[in-house]
Structure 1
């Protein structure tokens, strides 16, 4: 049983997200069947399902012993102790609306340990791959290492759906962090946001109650670029934060209602 990743896994991951993203991008030019899932902004299309099916078919053939977990329902138990976590189209609302901030993403994990992540942005034809033991690259070129900085100097990529604004246990810690950052952006794709943190276009990422397919691919990229990540439980919610060590520590302190500390 192997719980490690290899260069072959990284190559496969990059190929899978490129192919899945390319398929979704082609399907986007036609008429899409759009259905709501949990809310008006949480939607699924035939492109999500077709892209996930493509990834599952490839993984079944090339990594038959590994497990699979997909956002659109793919599930397979494995025998290796590893699983592939698949998000065929991350940012589906943007995808449907004709906005470009969406991607295909996946991660390879062993238990709760994320081994590597891959993200492909079809609009710019850019692919990121990285992990804790795999320095993050953008189209095969190493990204610059993340520079440590305080929260006050960080551009914060985040998201808070309007349904949570009236929930004090979520809205108040969120506001404490957002108010301490240099600037805040809500772009609508967790994996794209985390890829932007990994390659220096954003500085820090924060979200609550995020599913593993929206978290694992990107947090692997951030770690592979020299950043850190942390998940904490607070009032029944799990908060996920990734970026420079000092800013992450300050964010965790503010979420807990403590004085910010680096």
Structure 2
């Protein structure tokens, strides 16, 4: 993996991206092994957050604590944005973005579609992403400007250009109102694409776009920790990653895939948005 790129200028020399990636990988792997042990370790303590569908376990919290502890032990001046504990500012200019268990619902049921996601920003610019799938022992990595990799092998997005031939990935909001709108949109899309998949892990969906396992993907109502690492991995594999109006992806909507497919999908979603608004 080429890690010789320079990080964005900030008036000070940036940290070495290779070292950052190795640190993120080590933390993600250790957290992933913790999650695997948790599956055979007995009953989990489960609670809810924003809604009855928004689950959190003691393993989410333990995984996050482990990752943050490892990152800050090596780089104590960094900031952290983590799903369970929120924002922890730091003066270094580098901020880690951590999802300790993306796909909690799958994890609780023993469905092997969950991941640990660790990304880093240097003065607000995304510079690396690591997504570890412990069930498959698959590590997706990207350093900005250096490509995307799966266990060290370069990745490239699908070459399909026709929406009618595309395998589409998506996910669903925990908000009942948004879920209803999403169901309406899916009713239109189901006859415009080859087929649709819902994995339950946005991080893995974005990585699977990078690997060509999904042709194109969209999802609404995500959070930065859900998407930060996966977005960079997809982009470095050649995907266009954007938001509803073609600009940067947002929490409101993320699209990722080959440019032609993303543009066609964005047109369909924009049409549905216009119909809903009227």
TM-score past 0.5 threshold: yes
Q: SS state of the match for residue 147, structure 2?
A: strand
Q: Is 1:101 aligned to 2:113, yes or no?
A: yes
2:5 aligns with none
Equivalent of 2:214 in 196, 202, 212:
202
Cα distance in 2, alignment partners of residues 149 and 228 from structure 1? 13
Q: Is 1:68 aligned to 2:80, yes or no?
A: yes
CA contact (8 A) 1:2 1:82 kept: no
Q: Is 1:57 aligned to 2:69, yes or no?
A: yes
Instruction: Kindly tell me the number of residue pairs found equivalent between the two proteins.
Output: 256
Displacement of 1:251: 1.7
Equivalent of 1:246 in 260, 263, 272:
260
CA contact (8 A) 2:160 2:215 kept: no
Q: SS state of the match for residue 161, structure 2?
A: coil
Displacement of 1:165: 6.3
CA contact (8 A) 1:148 1:245 kept: no
Equivalent of 1:130 in 113, 119, 142:
142
Structure 1: any 5+ residue segments left out of the alignment?
Answer: none
2:122 aligns with 110
Cα distance in 1, alignment partners of residues 143 and 168 from structure 2? 21
Equivalent of 2:33 in 19, 22, 39:
22
Aligned 1:180-199 pairs, distance under 5 A? 180-199=192-211
Cα 1:204/1:111, change in 2 over 3 Å: farther
Q: TM (normalized to structure 2)?
A: 0.84
CA contact (8 A) 1:87 1:106 kept: yes
Kindly provide the CA deviation profile for residues 102-132 of structure 1, in whole angstroms up to 9, marking residues without a partner as x: 0111111235532111111111111110143
Cα distance in 2, alignment partners of residues 3 and 209 from structure 1? 32
1:160 aligns with 172
Cα distance in 2, alignment partners of residues 190 and 87 from structure 1? 11
Cα distance in 1, alignment partners of residues 130 and 91 from structure 2? 23
Displacement of 1:231: 1.3
Structure 2: any 5+ residue segments left out of the alignment?
Answer: 1-11, 273-278
Aligned alpha-carbon RMSD (Å): 2.4
Displacement of 1:54: 0.6
Worse-superposed segment, 206-215 or 131-140: 131-140
Decide which structure has greater strand share.
1
Cα distance in 2, alignment partners of residues 165 and 74 from structure 1? 24
Q: SS state of the match for residue 243, structure 2?
A: strand
Q: TM (normalized to structure 1)?
A: 0.88
1:12 aligns with 23
